[in-house]
Structure 1
Amino acid sequence: MGKDDETKKWHVYSASSPAKNSNNSNVYTLEMCMTGLDKDKASMFYKNESSFMIDNSGIRKILPQSQICNFEFEPCGYSMNSVEDEAISTIHVTPEDGFSYASFEAVGYDFTTMDLSLLVSRVLTCFEAKQFSVAIHSSIAQKSYYKGLCVELDDYGCRETTMESLGEERGTVMYQRFEKLGRYFGSPRSTLKCEWSSNSSCTSEDDKEEGT
């Protein structure tokens, strides 16, 4: 998934077998990939005698009710797994300058009732990535776009959004790609309105006025 002229794409591999004893409940999976981490934020993931990465980075505040098991790597890097009722989440961080990367994944939360944009914003507060993507898989195929699954942020511009059906038994994937506004990509006041559609992209109101 992604534009033909983009070097970064989201690859989806799908397989399934007939469901047995299914209760037809929808299971959502969120996968978030972040690159170009802020240097100060990334420095929190270098191990030292007084380091306590989970608190210093703000990770503890992402899902405050979850139970976390985490590991600080030597000399740098971080990994954690968490459990909250029937939901789970995980984070992995590579903080080295030049190829810094962080990922956040969550399964089992109901993103139709949870504030998805707030959750993503909490994650970004820990890393302040220059670019990131969000892919949400719903186990039950959705025939139309649902606004509650669209991330909207003030400090990031949506560069692309796509929804693809994987088939009745494989569900639907919704994908968005963002870049940081301000010093990197324009005015923080810019507004980018996104709509889900197959092979669609996001355009700003300014682009429409200029005819681009």
Structure 2
Amino acid sequence: MVESEKTEAGFEGFEKRVEISFSFSESGEPKKLGLRALSGAQIKSILEAARCSIVSQLSNSELDSYVLSESSLFVFPLKIILKTCGTTRLLLSVKPILDLAASLSLSVFAVKYSRGSFLFPNDQPAPHDTFLNEVALLNHYFAHLNAKAYVIGNPNRCWHLYSACGEAATLSLTVEICMTGLDRDKARVFHKEWGGGKMTEMSGISEIVQSHVICDFEFEPCGYSMNGIEGAAFSTVHVTPENGFSYGSYEVQGLDPGSNGFGALVRKVLKCFCPSDFSVAVTCEVGAEDWAMSDADVEGYCCQNVVKQQLLPGKGCLVYRTYSARGRGRGSPKIAIVKCSNEIEKEELVLSSCLTST
């Protein structure tokens, strides 16, 4: 995080995330590099629209990875993933991304936008002041791609998801873990006076997926970000350690489910942070949801909600769970297929109307 992004209330750790996938248009000549052919100045123009900048980067034969002043950017030949926290204006980057992709003869065929419930929602600038406004902006560009919006979970911790895709779209297995109320001793590592130069090792983050090559960045006076890459797979961690609004996130995409158990992955992440509350959102192809639904027990935590949401027909599903440290919440989880409260149902009815009328 950067100090300029901290409001009077605190720093907004929960990230906004957009993933846009492309194909070469019929009229265009395929170029192997695709989006990776974008120049540094062009990448900068995307980030300036979102109000963030590059602080570190790492590449391999499959992708370019950028650690940002507020989270991360991943650029593949035919896919771009931008994730930002604080009071950034992530969705204002959509137009420059589409314009630059068009200049490379690329056409959009799938989009996913997701975020949790903001800690400080009143501090968010438009269009992120409400999910309805976010959906309206996304619909302006993607409503023709069978777009749907979902508000999932309980009233206190919702997962907001916008999904739009064409017939040929596929979903990469993606795990997003959002944690609040970090253990003070664990959070202390992410202050320069304690973990300066060694945050990745001292926290245990380097042990989560040991094969990933890591590029990290330590902020002044506190805060941490890292991207890890291996082939076309990546992981990313972001930490705001200040007491009162501490937050940590972990994401991995391209993980081999056959070699990595869902529960084991979650437990490795929790060991680094010991949060009081956390959520796990898994998006996956149809047929892979058994992996995301398996091994839900996490020692020391009570599962509050389990939601399985079918996305567009034949395009996979979302499995969303929320947890609290034992003694803080209810005893047994509430299992749901679509939503968990009447308030959220009413909001989604409005969203559905917005989507179909656009």
CA contact (8 A) 2:305 2:336 kept: no
* Aligned-pair identity (%): 38
TM-score by length of 1: 0.79
Write the letter of the residue equivalent to 1:17.
G
Deviations along 1:98-153, whole A, 9 cap, x unmatched?
Answer: 00000100101133552111111111111100000000001x235x9626533321
CA distance, structure 2, for counterparts of residue 89 and residue 168 of structure 1: 28
Paired residue for 2:212?
Answer: 66
Shift of 1:181: 1.2
C-alpha distance in 2 between matches for 1:153 and 1:159 = 12
Q: Which residue of 2 aligns with 1:15?
A: 164
Which of the numbers 73, 97, 101 marks the counterpart of 2:243? 97
2:227 counterpart letter in structure 1:
N
Match of 2:153 in 1: 2
Output the amino acid matched with 1:80: M
* Kept after mapping to 1: 8 A contact 2:223/2:240: yes
- Hey, what does 2:299 align to over in structure 1? 154
Q: 1:75 to 1:124 in 2, by over 3 A?
A: same
Structure 2: which 5+ residue stretches go unaligned? 1-151, 342-358
Moved more, 94-103 or 57-66: 57-66
AA at the equivalent of 1:163: K
1:132 corresponds to 2:278: yes
Contact 2:304 2:333 in 1 (8 A): no
The CA deviation at 1:197 is: 3.6
Task: Tell which has more relative contact order, 1 or 2 (C-alpha 8 A, sep 6+).
Answer: 1
Cα displacement (A) at 1:27: 2.3
Contact 1:116 1:148 in 2 (8 A): yes
Aligned equivalent of 1:88: 234
Residues in 2 aligned to 1:130 and 1:122: alpha-carbon distance in whole angstroms: 16
Amino acid at match of 2:153: G
Q: Decide which of 34, 37, 47 is 2:182's aligned counterpart.
A: 37
Indicate how the Cα distance of structure 1 residues 160 and 49 shifts in structure 2: closer, same or farther if over 3 A, else same: closer
Matches within 5 A, 1:60-209: 60-111=206-257, 113-138=259-284, 140-142=285-287, 146=290, 149-150=293-294, 151-168=296-313, 170-182=315-327, 184-185=328-329, 192=332, 197-199=337-339
1:11 match: secondary structure: strand
Aligned-partner Cα distance in 2 for 1:61–1:167: 35
Matched residue SS, 1:10: strand
1:49-97 per-residue CA deviation (whole Å, 9 max, x = no partner) reads 8621001111111111111000000100000000123311100000010
Amino acid at match of 1:8: R
Give the TM-score taking structure 2 as reference length.
0.48
Structure 2 CA distance for aligned equivalents of residues 148 and 17 of structure 1: 24
Q: Is the 8 A contact 1:111 1:148 kept in 2?
A: no
> Displacement, 1:8?
1.9
Q: CA deviation at 1:200?
A: 6.3
1:28–1:137 CA contact under 8 A, matched in 2 = yes
**Larger proportion of helix:** 2
Gaps of 5+ in 1: 202-212
Per the alignment, residue 74 of structure 2 pairs with: none
CA contact (8 A) 2:232 2:254 kept: yes
Aligned partners of 1:89 and 1:106 also within 8 Å: yes
